[in-house]
Amino acid sequence: MTSAIETAPRMGATPIARLIAIAIISFLTLVDLFATQAILPSLAAAYHVSPGVMGSAVNLCTLGMAISGLGVALLNHRIGRRKGVVLSLTLLTIPTLLLALMPDLTLFAALRLLQGVFMSAAFSLTIAYIAETASANLISAALAAYVTGNVASNLFGRLMSAAIADHLGLPANFLIFAGLNLAGAALAFILLSDETMNRTGARQRNLLALFRRRALNASFAIGFLILFVFIGAFTYVNFVLTRPPLGLSTMQLGFVYFIFLPSIIATPFAGLASNRLGAGTVIILALLVALLGLAASLIRDLTFVLGAMTLLAAGTFFAQAAATGYVSRSAGAARGSAGGVYLASYYSGGLVGSIVIGQVFDQFGWTAVVIVLGFALSAACVIALFMTEDDSTLASQR
């Protein structure tokens, strides 16, 4: 297949411009996912509920993302990539706008779930678009660029959300983010080229074959554990930062997320590192860095907590980029389906993490959270031993 990413004028004249375009689309696709976490204490106060209840409501979007990921895995061979991305981002504006009305908590949670459905569909279809249209020498860089856009949405989305809520109020926050969703749809329409799809039933048959491959199953499990840890840590550390002895304000909490800057710089190199060392090795090393950061967060000093969260973010994002690239290389003709299954597993981990860790935090505090998340990171390191590059190389030649 001719590489749309390399040849389509819509994607820019240089590889760097194309990668930047991919990162921008990723940013505007996922900016709603974590931005709301920056205002979680304000939302908990507005709705008069505990951190665990509000965290579960905010993160219910991960259930929608998991459901949507499975839907794309089953139906991806029938969905046009560009049209699907544009439609998903357009529809995403609707629940985002409705959140500005500050509905009751049940409707708030339902709207977050809908946001997750549309975000995940756009995410999954863009990943499939990259995997199916990029040349072999560009695919790792393109996928790393997409994950880098995800990292950037974590940082700037949180900063924007905190600043808007602090100065203009919670409803204005959701109105402005709806505008960003619509901008994402417009950019996807302009920047992505139409692609030729293979509409045979082979991909659907290959979906069942995915679960018979140990290495791919390992990557799915690692995806689950990565977001379990990330959501669990970065949802409830907000309450550690805003409560005594640290006592940060909403605006100060937004500035805390400059800790994602090192991740934005490092994540683009995940593809190169995986090509040289193997994805399994890269994931283990990255998660060991995350584990070190997690342990350091037990020291209730702002400098230590910020340093700890920097290491945790860098390690989990680097591992996520390596795992995403591995799934795409390993799945062969079933890349679209494998990407959907991976994202379903990934976001299921986020949902479970928000619920389980919320209860642990409410009942036992931050130290217990660190212990549970430490076990999850250790388990992911062990599972990564089953990810072999031989499987990836053979699949990429199919």
How confident is the model over 222-243, as pLDDT tens digits?
999 999 999 899 888 988 998 8
**Model pLDDT, residue 35:** 86
pTM score above 0.85 = no
* pLDDT above 70 (res 92): yes
* pLDDT above 90 (res 384): yes
Q: What is the DSSP string of 365-388?
A: -HHHHHHHHHHHHHHHHHHHTT--
Confidence label for 9 from pLDDT (cuts 50, 70 and 90): very low
* pLDDT above 50 (res 365): yes
**Model pLDDT, residue 310:** 95
* pLDDT above 90 (res 311): yes
Q: How many whole angstroms separate alpha carbon 352 and alpha carbon 389?
A: 29
Segment 27-41 shows an average pLDDT of 86
* pLDDT above 90 (res 253): no
Q: What is the DSSP string of 14-43?
A: SHHHHHHHHHHHHHHHHHHHHHGGGGHHHH
Q: How many whole angstroms separate alpha carbon 77 and alpha carbon 197?
A: 8
Q: How many whole angstroms separate alpha carbon 12 and alpha carbon 279?
A: 29
Q: What is the DSSP string of 57-79?
A: HHTTHHHHHHHHHHHHHHHGGGS
Q: How many whole angstroms separate alpha carbon 67 and alpha carbon 210?
A: 18
* pLDDT above 80 (res 109): yes
What single-letter amino acid sits at 99? L
CA dihedral 202, 208, 212, 215 (to 10 degrees): 80
* pLDDT above 60 (res 213): yes
User: Among positive and negative, which fits the CA dihedral 87, 271, 224, 210?
Assistant: positive
Q: How many whole angstroms separate alpha carbon 360 and alpha carbon 370?
A: 10
Higher pLDDT, 225 or 51: 225
How confident is the model over 256-288, as pLDDT tens digits?
888 989 998 898 888 889 888 999 999 999 999
**Model pLDDT, residue 199:** 44
Segment 45-67 shows an average pLDDT of 89
The residue written with tokens 């799934």 in the block is 327
Q: Highest mean pLDDT range out of 5-14, 48-57, 105-114?
A: 105-114
* pLDDT above 90 (res 65): no
Average pLDDT over the chain reads 84
Segment 6-12 shows an average pLDDT of 43
How confident is the model over 312-353, as pLDDT tens digits?
999 999 999 899 888 877 766 666 677 778 888 988 898 899
Kindly list the distances between the CA atom of residue 7 and the CA atoms of 4, 95, 140, 198, in Å, as whole numbers in the listed order: 5, 36, 17, 19
**Model pLDDT, residue 124:** 81
* pLDDT above 80 (res 302): yes
**Model pLDDT, residue 6:** 42
